């Protein structure tokens, strides 16, 4: 997948992993539901198509909560 994608990066079982998503909203939603529904990961950040971090920390948490419906 080398098209313009966002990477939802997270920690799982002491390893840093990432999930490629076609949009920023899908990356945020992936992290939100994986954390709040399944508790299987710890969100780190979201990286944009150009390789820069576009969301992290409190801003990421707020977007995740909004995506989840809180």
Predicted confidence band of residue 1 (pLDDT cuts 50, 70, 90): very low
- Closest alpha carbon to 8 in 40, 50, 54, 39: 54
For the stretch 11-70, pLDDT in tens is 988 899 999 999 999 999 999 998 877 777 899 999 999 999 999 999 999 999 999 885
**CB of 63 closer than 8 Å to CB of 53:** no
């Amino acid at each position: 997948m080398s098209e313009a994608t966002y990477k939802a990066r997270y920690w799982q079982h002491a390893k840093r992993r990432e999930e490629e998503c076609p949009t920023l909203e899908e990356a945020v939603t992936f992290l939100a539901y994986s954390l709040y529904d399944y508790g299987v990961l710890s969100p780190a950040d979201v990286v944009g198509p150009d390789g820069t971090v576009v969301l992290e920390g409190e801003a990421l948490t707020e977007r995740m909560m909004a995506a989840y419906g809180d």
